[in-house]
A = this chain, B = another copy of it.
Amino acid sequence: MAKIPYKIYLSESEMPTQWHNVRAVMKELPDPFINPATGKACTFDDLRPVFCDDLIEQELNTKDLYIDIPGEIMDFYKMYRPSPLVRAYNLERELETPAEIYYKFEGNNTSGSHKLNSAAAQVYYAKKQGLTHLTTETGAGQWGTALAMACAFYGVDLKVYMVKVSAEQKPHRKNVIRTYGGEGIPSPSDTTEIGRKILAENPGTGGSLGCAISEAMETALKTENCRYVLGSVLNHVLLHQTIIGQETYAACKKYDIQPDIIIGCAGGGSNLGGLISPFMEDRILGKTNTQFVAVEPASCPSLTRGRYAFDFGDTGKTTPLMRMYTLGSGFIPSPNHAGGLRYHGMSPILSKLYHDGYMSAVSYEQTKVFDAAIRFARVEGTLPAPESSHAIKAAIDEALRCKETGEEKTILFGLTGTGYFDMTAYAAYLDGAMTDYIPTDEDLEKGFATLPKVDF
């Protein structure tokens, strides 16, 4: 075996052409989504007003282990994929660890993250179904940017409702969306009934993700040939993100790399779910004993301190009920710069795997995460996104444990994106102005009190 290069790039002909659907090998499936109106499992028809047909099929598909990626989506992927699997030689040297450290880097595209993997798929299927318009919401802005890029490519109109306070803090995210022909609308806005209502009641509000979702959904329902699309949590989003895991798996096979532990940050769970999917198959089938670790912010600890319960996906309580680890849809996370990890729940697939003991979880305070981010940047070059840096922190801790024990573990983590649009947070850290926040048990109880009273 030749020395492993700094960066493993699969050739175009080695690129996986199928997504990986781990549900097909899970011993127990996640609970189905529940239609709150009927109390019964959501059917294909229940979901049709909201999602494209192909996406609903993927959402409900628990049988097929592999799902072909259409050629048109492969063409899009080839613009920025395969992404590199990087051997962190410099970080290993810096830490003086006997561990081998690898990271799968998804930041080398203009959206700056893995979000583009699902955006491309969702816009393609919308276009295929004859839709001409899409709406979505964005908090940190990576999803909105990714969707704008895909909409420009496939020729679909896009409105992005951006949480007003984020839009004002990161004005250039909106400008990137505009560059790709999308419209970025600070939310609450006067373009929807719900937005006008909120503005009338609370003129100075900075908005919230819940409000932006409500505006995007209202606009989608009122616009012809339009649907609302979502960037995480759902099964079909995780499915699209398995292109990350499929490539990583192929690269590991090619170089005979056997990860002992795979680490990823987890907000809604799509990147981690995508990264681990084919490795989880091996674990479920007893072929390996790979450990999987989800890393979340201490300020929004859905796995480590949440409940496994049926809950709504949005604060407006309009989605189907999903059984997942959740802090309650009414949980209000503290202002936390790792914007993409502020979701109250966790992907139902990951929640189930965690519940069944296939995955563990840790949480970190954000100043510790930025410590790790900067240590990483200075030796590995890439300036990481705050979200991704949660995984870096966990990987460094694991490597330092190996240094103590002498174990030569193989550690692999997902570096989901770059922090180029997060420099306000870096500046706060460098100025010593960043604080940590851990919700009290009382804070959590307030969130749990918003869980729906259901009994299935």
Would you call A433 an interface residue if the criterion is a C-beta within 8 Å of the partner chain's C-beta atoms? Answer: no
Q: Which residues of B contact A12 (CB under 8 A)?
A: 5-7
Q: Do B178 and A427 have beta carbons less than 8 Å apart?
A: yes
Copy tally for this chain in the complex stands at: 2
Would you call A381 an interface residue if the criterion is a C-beta within 8 Å of the partner chain's C-beta atoms? Answer: yes
CA A423 – CA B181 in complex, angstroms? 14
Would you call A421 an interface residue if the criterion is a C-beta within 8 Å of the partner chain's C-beta atoms? Answer: yes
Q: Do B178 and A377 have beta carbons less than 8 Å apart?
A: no
The DSSP consensus for interface residues of chain A is helix
Q: Do B175 and A109 have beta carbons less than 8 Å apart?
A: no
Would you call A121 an interface residue if the criterion is a C-beta within 8 Å of the partner chain's C-beta atoms? Answer: no
Q: A7-B12, A78-B6, A378-B152 are in contact. Are A176 and B383 (CB under 8 A)?
A: yes
Q: Do B378 and A430 have beta carbons less than 8 Å apart?
A: no
CA A171 – CA B180 in complex, angstroms? 24
Q: Do B420 and A420 have beta carbons less than 8 Å apart?
A: yes
Q: Do A175 and B423 have beta carbons less than 8 Å apart?
A: yes
Q: Do B6 and A11 have beta carbons less than 8 Å apart?
A: no
A1-30 interface code vs B (CB 8 A; 1 in, 0 out): 010011101011100000000000000000
Q: Do A7 and B78 have beta carbons less than 8 Å apart?
A: yes
- For A425, give the chain B residue with the smallest CB separation: B175
Q: Do B383 and A110 have beta carbons less than 8 Å apart?
A: yes
A interface, how many residues as a size bin? 35 or more
Interchain nearest-CB distance for A443 vs B (Å): 31
- For A6, give the chain B residue with the smallest CB separation: B78
Q: Do A79 and B380 have beta carbons less than 8 Å apart?
A: yes
CA A6 – CA B179 in complex, angstroms? 23
Would you call A379 an interface residue if the criterion is a C-beta within 8 Å of the partner chain's C-beta atoms? Answer: yes
- For A11, give the chain B residue with the smallest CB separation: B5
Interchain nearest-CB distance for A86 vs B (Å): 8
Would you call A66 an interface residue if the criterion is a C-beta within 8 Å of the partner chain's C-beta atoms? Answer: no
Interchain nearest-CB distance for A17 vs B (Å): 14
Interchain nearest-CB distance for A166 vs B (Å): 15
Q: Do A383 and B153 have beta carbons less than 8 Å apart?
A: no
Q: Which residues of B contact A90 (CB under 8 A)?
A: 75, 79, 153
Interchain nearest-CB distance for A80 vs B (Å): 6
Q: Which residues of B contact A161 (CB under 8 A)?
A: none
Q: Residue A179 contacts which of B152, B377, B424 (CB distance < 8 angstroms)?
A: B377
Q: A110-B383, A152-B378 are in contact. Are A426 and B78 (CB under 8 A)?
A: no
CA A430 – CA B176 in complex, angstroms? 10
Q: Which residues of B contact A80 (CB under 8 A)?
A: 381
Interchain nearest-CB distance for A29 vs B (Å): 36
- For A382, give the chain B residue with the smallest CB separation: B110
Q: Do A179 and B110 have beta carbons less than 8 Å apart?
A: no
Would you call A374 an interface residue if the criterion is a C-beta within 8 Å of the partner chain's C-beta atoms? Answer: yes
CA A176 – CA B374 in complex, angstroms? 10
Interface residues in A373-419 (C-beta closer than 8 Å to B): 374, 377-383, 418
Would you call A234 an interface residue if the criterion is a C-beta within 8 Å of the partner chain's C-beta atoms? Answer: no
Q: List 26 A-B contacts (CB under 8 A).
A: A2-B13, A5-B13, A5-B78, A6-B12, A9-B9, A79-B380, A90-B153, A109-B381, A110-B381, A110-B383, A152-B378, A152-B379, A153-B379, A171-B427, A175-B424, A175-B427, A176-B383, A176-B420, A176-B423, A176-B426, A178-B426, A178-B430, A179-B374, A179-B383, A181-B378, A420-B420
Beyond contacts A110-B418, A171-B427, A181-B378: 16 other A-B pairs, Cβ-Cβ < 8 A, are: A5-B13, A6-B12, A9-B11, A79-B380, A108-B108, A110-B420, A152-B378, A153-B379, A171-B423, A172-B424, A172-B427, A175-B423, A175-B424, A176-B420, A179-B377, A420-B421
Q: Which 10 A-B pairs have the closest CB atoms?
A: A172-B423, A5-B12, A152-B378, A6-B78, A175-B423, A110-B383, A175-B427, A79-B381, A9-B9, A108-B108
